[in-house]
Amino acid sequence: MDIAIREIEERDYLAVLALWNLLGNQALTEENIGPYYALEKLDDNYKTFVAVLDGQVVGFIYTLRFMSVGPPVWFMNIHGLAVAPELRGKGIGSQLIKHVERYAASRGVSFIGLNTGFKRKRAHKFYERHGFEAGSYHYSKML
C-alpha cells in the first residue's frame, strides 16, 4: 500500500472533517473548518498531516508543539489521529505516528504525548505498541 503523507491542504478539509467526526468531534463543521485551518497556518506550532492513498485522504494526525515550564524543552501533543474505518489495521496510523516522530525530532521536540478516551481500548493498544505509556488522567472543564 503506497501511502503519501503531507501537510493538509484546502482540498483535504471535507475528508478530514469526516474523519474528525468519527472521533466524535462536533466542533468542526463544513462552515468553520476552512477558517480554522487558515488560522492554524499562521502558527507553525500547529500541524495537521494527512495520509493519502490513490489521491484520497484516508487518515490524518493533528499536533501542537509547545514549550514546557522551566527549562526550555519542547513538547508535542497529538490532538487527533484517525484512519478511515475500512483501512484500519493496515499500517496507516503507524505511518502517521512515525512521520510525526521524525517531524518532531527535526523541530527539537523531546517528548510526545496524547490523550485518549477510557473506552478506546483498541486505541490504547495501538499507542502502547508505538512506545506510548499511560501516565496520567486528563481533566477538563467547559467554561
Domain chopping of the chain, boundaries: 4-129
pLDDT for position 143: 84
Distance CA 31, CA 16 (A): 14
- Residue found by looking up cell 490513490 in the block: 54
**The architecture CATH gives domain 4-129:** 3-Layer(aba) Sandwich (3.40)
Question: Tens digit of pLDDT for each residue in 126-136?
Answer: 788 888 888 77
pLDDT tens column, 42-63: 999 999 999 999 999 999 999 9
CA angle 9/38/76 to nearest 5° reads: 80
- Of 2-6, 19-23, 24-28, 109-113, the one with minimum mean pLDDT is 24-28
Of 87, 37, 27, 90, the residue nearest 62 (C-alpha): 37
Cα 132 from Cα 5, distance rounded (Å): 21
Residue partners of 29: CB distance under 8 A and separation at least 6: 17
**What's the pLDDT band for 124 if we cut at 50, 70, 90?**
confident
Which one of 21-30, 50-59, 72-81, 111-120 scores highest in mean pLDDT? Answer: 50-59
Read off φ and ψ for residue 106, nearest 5 degrees.
Answer: -70, -20
The CA distance from 96 to 87, in Å, is 13
What pLDDT score does 54 carry? 95
Express each pLDDT in 97-118 by its tens digit.
999 999 999 999 989 988 877 7
Share of the chain above pLDDT 70, in %: 100
Give pLDDT, residue 71. Answer: 73
Is the pLDDT score of 25 beyond 90?
no
Q: What span, in angstroms and rounded, lies between the C-alpha atoms of 127 and 82? A: 13
For the chain, the average pLDDT equals 89
